[in-house]
Structure 1
Amino acid sequence: MNQQYQPKHADIVFNRIGYGAMQLAGPHVWGPPKDRAAALAVLREAVERGVNHIDTSDFYGPHVTNQIIREALHPYRDDLTIVTKIGYRRGDDQSWLPAASAQELRAAVHDNLRNLGLEVLDVVNYRAPGAAAPDGQPLAEPLSVLLRMKKEGLIRHIGLSNVTAEQVKEAQQLTDIVCVQNQYNLAHRGDDALIDTLAAQGIAYVPFFPLGGFSPLQSEALTRTAAALGATTIQVALAWLLQRAPNILVIPGTSSLAHLRENLAAGALQLDPATIAALNAI
């Protein structure tokens, strides 16, 4: 299994197991973590063990995860890529609110720069509206704002999050896209065709919620498979994603060193064709 991937339109070589920073904030991705020292330790060990891709956003916390990333890792290693997302904000009641006006997008980029301690953001994903699923709204207006900031030297590369295949096509008429971040896992495979299209185009696909939305029967089937392999369910789910397509990058998140080590070990788990067929039937 190839453990690295370089998108066609970027000079970035990603190790395919990255780290998602959402869980570094407090409960419901709000406020500080219960154990800040543990959060710092997880980030530092992740990078020491070869993670060179951290997924974050300044609306996690808000601001909290980026500030922890900066405290743990700044000055950053040359090969570390921090991918952030904009397009939402947090309400005072902890709600998630679309924030896609030109002013809001520009403020979000500057919040990320300030809290991460950066002068330019490697990759900014525009997180399109839609709660349960992408709502398919046109992307021209928000992407035009990101393109202006790219010309200003604040953003190097642009990605998309929570989008349909049609929105990806629309975006590609405006700019090169280096990655797409959507919900996808064994139980939710609506993006199968999109993943294959992106692979052919040299665009990274970054699934979130690798165990999200499983029914009890689906979870039971995954648990049986994991037990037979002497692995955890998350390890099997991550290994399946890594073997699904070469352009898939996984970003499991955790605030636990033990879970971090388990997640990284998924890269060494090879699933045979019979196991993959059984998992595909979930």
Structure 2
Amino acid sequence: MNTQEIIIAGQSKNPLKVKRFGYGTMRLTGAGIWGEPANRPEALQILKQCIKNGINFIDTADYYGEDVTNRLIAEALYPYPADLVICTKVGGARRPDKSWIPFNRPENLRSSIDNNLRTLKLEQVTLVHFRVIAGSDVPFKESMQAMFDMQKEGKILHVGVSNVSPGDLLTAMAMGNIATVENMYGHAQRTSIQLVHGGENMGGEEVLAMCEEHEIPLIPYFSLFQSMPRKDERIATIAKKHNASEAQVNLAWLLHHSPWILPIPGTSSLRHFEENLKATEIQLSEEDMAFLK
């Protein structure tokens, strides 16, 4: 895998260095992000291939499955390589009907962290994103304070945020050190209103600019899921030029667009996983990037 490294929490006493191409586990679950994978051996093999290919950043959540991806990670990779960063998320939960609900009261977040520690077989979670989910009546500051409290207790090494508006990010940074931001972002999701939270535009460029200013890695989610259905002839043209797929060019664009972007494409297919890895070998020229602008 041909990719550079990125520093997480570079201003802290415990900075982390990871390859700037990770893996998101959400797609390892069954249909509807629920239950066991259709092909469990293949799911375990993908996780093992992450390590073999130099990927040392894996994104998960205990509400994927539920608990499915965490258990798969532990089964495939424990005891973990010393340089592996497992990033999880709290703030949400699933109902039996598979709907997504906020789970962000301080006692909820504490319960989720304890569950992640147990299922991942960890004594401390290296990086945790507090995920904002619409419909909550819990103030953002209250949830964030609970995260920083658990960091002080040693349950969490680094705190990040997910699905946040620019206003949320400013609030979080005023309360403590924010290591990473995980938001929807991609070639097709830069300027449009992605999600509405608190009446604010969740468009990606403003958040990316804030991340770059403060040297905070931006971890884009759904970058392929949202980009691929939106056919863009510019992407198709560059894909043909480089003898690559459109998915690979979307990932290569992320890597070239900003040194503070850490893509985490996910898939349940070993073949697609290997194709995604090849995106790190694509060298887009300045002319290519200007064309894709």
Q: TM-score, normalization: structure 1?
A: 0.93
Letter in 2 for 1:152: E
Query: 1:59 aligned to 2:72?
Result: no
Report what 1:142 is aligned to. Answer: 143
Structural mapping, 1:1-282, within 5 Å: 3-7=4-8, 8-9=10-11, 10-130=14-134, 138-189=139-190, 190-214=203-227, 218-280=231-293
* Overall identity of the aligned pairs, in %: 39
Q: Runs (4+) of structure 1 moved beyond 3 Å? A: 135-138, 212-221
Letter in 1 for 2:168: Q
Q: Report how far residue 223 of structure 1 moved.
A: 2.8
Q: Structure 1 88/75 Cα, relative in aligned 2: closer, same or farther at 3 Å?
A: same
Report SS of the residue matched to 1:211: helix
Q: Report how far residue 215 of structure 1 moved.
A: 8.2
> Does the CA-based 8 Å contact 2:117-2:124 persist in structure 1?
yes
Q: Distance in 2 between matches of 1:51 and 1:184?
A: 21
Gaps of 5+ in 1: none
Gaps of 5+ in 2: 191-202
Q: Report how far residue 196 of structure 1 moved.
A: 2.3
Q: Report how far residue 136 of structure 1 moved.
A: 12
Q: Distance in 2 between matches of 1:239 and 1:172?
A: 29
Report SS of the residue matched to 1:266: helix
> Does the CA-based 8 Å contact 1:196-1:245 persist in structure 2?
no
Per-residue Cα deviation, 1:239-258 (whole angstroms, up to 9, x for no partner): 10011111110001112222
Report SS of the residue matched to 2:267: coil
Q: Distance in 1 between matches of 2:228 and 2:79?
A: 43
Report SS of the residue matched to 2:219: strand
Q: Structure 1 241/214 Cα, relative in aligned 2: closer, same or farther at 3 Å?
A: closer
Q: Distance in 2 between matches of 1:259 and 1:205?
A: 23
Q: Structure 1 103/238 Cα, relative in aligned 2: closer, same or farther at 3 Å?
A: same
> Does the CA-based 8 Å contact 2:105-2:138 persist in structure 1?
no
Q: Which moved more, 1:250-259 or 1:158-167?
A: 250-259
> Does the CA-based 8 Å contact 2:3-2:280 persist in structure 1?
no
How many equivalent residue pairs?
Answer: 277
Q: Distance in 1 between matches of 2:143 and 2:206?
A: 26
Q: Which moved more, 1:262-271 or 1:212-221?
A: 212-221
Q: Report how far residue 200 of structure 1 moved.
A: 2.2
Q: Distance in 2 between matches of 1:118 and 1:137?
A: 28
Q: Distance in 2 between matches of 1:18 and 1:136?
A: 33
Q: Distance in 2 between matches of 1:213 and 1:152?
A: 38
Q: Report how far residue 89 of structure 1 moved.
A: 0.2
Q: TM-score, normalization: structure 2?
A: 0.90
> Does the CA-based 8 Å contact 1:86-1:125 persist in structure 2?
yes
Q: Distance in 1 between matches of 2:100 and 2:3?
A: 36
Q: Distance in 2 between matches of 1:163 and 1:216?
A: 24
Per-residue Cα deviation, 1:89-147 (whole angstroms, up to 9, x for no partner): 0000011111111121111101111111111000010001238xxx9985210011111
Q: Structure 1 231/215 Cα, relative in aligned 2: closer, same or farther at 3 Å?
A: closer
